[in-house]
Structure 1
Amino acid sequence: MLAIDAAAYRSPWRRHHPAAKALLAGTLLICAVSLPPWPGAPITAAITLAVALGWARVPPGMLLRAARTPVSFALTGSLTFLITISADGIGWAPDGARRMADVVARCVAALLCQLLFASTTPVADALPRLIRVGVPAVLVEVALLIYRMLFVVLDTTRTIRTAQAGRLGHRSISATWRSLGGLGSAVFVRSFDRARRLEVGLAGRGYTGALTVAIKEIPLRTRFLAVAPLPGLLAVVATLTLERG
C-alpha cells in the first residue's frame, strides 16, 4: 500500500463524507488557480498546509514525500520561462523570473489542495460514489481496475529489483542498463498476464458489464459541510485585503 493510501485510511477525517472533503479541497483548489498568483497562491498554500497539518492531522513526512516529485517537476518545467528564443538567438527572458514564480506558486498551491483530499479520502470511498453523481460506470470501473493493478505492478517491480540486486545486476553501468531493460520487459509481460487472468476470472464469475461493490455508508455531517467552504473564503478575503492594502 502506498504511504498516501495508508494515511487516508488512518485519517481522522475518514468518518466524514467524501463530498464534504471534496468541497473543502475544491474551494481551495479554485482559489489556487483563480486568485492572483501573488499573494493568492502563497496564501492558499499556507491555509491548505495549516488545514492539512493542524485540522486533518496529515503526517508531515508523508506530505513532504508525496509533494517532492511533483514540485521538482514543476520547478524543472518552469525553467523554460527564463529563456527566450528570437531572431537574435537565445537569451534571458526579461519577465521570465516573474512568470516562473507565478507558475511554481500556483502549482504548489494546487498540489497541496489535491494532496489534502488524497491523504484524507481513500480511493475506495471516493470512486464508487462518482456513479451517483452521473459519472459513467465504465469509467469508474476502469479507474478501479487500474488502481488495483497499480499495486500489482509496484509489487512485481520491487520483487524483480530485489532479485537483480541479489545477483549483482547493478555492479556497473552496463549491467544496470541490462537490468533496467530486463525489468521493463518482465513487468510488461507479467502485468499483461495478470490482466488476462483477471479478465478470465471475471468472465468465469458471470461478468455482465458492471462490477457491483459494497459502498460503506458515511453520514453527511452538517457541521463539517458548513465549515468546509470557510478555508477557501478565508483565502479570498486575505488575498483581497492584501491587494487593496
Structure 2
Amino acid sequence: NEIKERMRSQAGDDVDVIITEIGGTVGDIESQPFLEAAREVRTELGPTNCMFVHVSLVPWIASAHELKTKPTQHSVMMLRQLGIRPDALVLRSDRPLNQGIKDKISLMCDVAENAVVNCVDVPSIYEIPTMLHTEGLDSYVVEHLELKCGDVDWAEWGDLLDRVHHPKDEITIGIIGKYIDLPDAYLSVTEAIKAGGFGNYVRAKIEWISADNCETDEGAQRYLSNLDGIVIPGGFGIRGIEGKINALRYARENKLPALGICLGMQ
C-alpha cells in the first residue's frame, strides 16, 4: 500500500499524467513488490487510466549477423506471469529494426503493431523524444489514456537540439571528486553541467580530477590551470577533503570560477 500511495502521491488538479519508472530487469527479486503494486494500481484505476510501457533490448549478435528478439519475448512472458500485460514496447537497439522484426515481436508478445516502437542509440539523449514521436508512441499514449491535446509544437525542443549540436563555444569544467572511477556517482552533476552549457550555446567538456591529486600546490597547478571552471561535489568521509579545500583555494587565488555542492560548499 505504501508503494501505491507513493505512485499516486503527486495526483492533483494540476497534474494530467504521473510517470513511474521501475528500473532493473524483469525477474529481479528487488523489483517484484513494485511490479505487484503497479499491477494493483492498474486494477484500481482501470485500463484507460493506467498504461504499461515496457523498455526492452533487442541485441545484435555479431557472430550470427542478426538481431535477437528472444530476450524481449522472454521478459514480456515473465511480466505476464506477474499479471502485467505491456500496452506498448520500446525496443532499444544499436541499429534500426525492420518492420519484419517489429511484426514478429508484436505477434509473439501480443502487443498492437502501432505500439511496438524502435529507439535506436543516438549521440544525444535529447534526440530521443523526436525519435519516439516519429515512431508514433506519443499518439498511441494519448489515444490509450483518452487525453485531450493538440498538435505537438517542436519549436522549443528544436531550439534545444540546435544548441546541443551547434554550440558556439566549448569550455572545460573539472569535477574534483572522490569517486571518479565510477562516473555514475556524479551523473546528476555532469548532466546539470551539460544542460547549463546548452542554455548558453556552449559545449561543456568534463574533466575528471581526483581530489587526492590536488592536495599539494603543485598538483592543483598541474590539474586545474587549463580549466575554465571547477565543480566540487558532495562526498562522505575525510578522504579527499584536503584536496578539495586546496582546489578551492587555488580557484579563489587564481579567479577560477568554482561551484561547491553539499560537502563541496561546506
Normalised to the residue count of structure 1, the TM-score between the two structures is: 0.23
More strand by share: 2
Normalised to the residue count of structure 2, the TM-score between the two structures is: 0.21
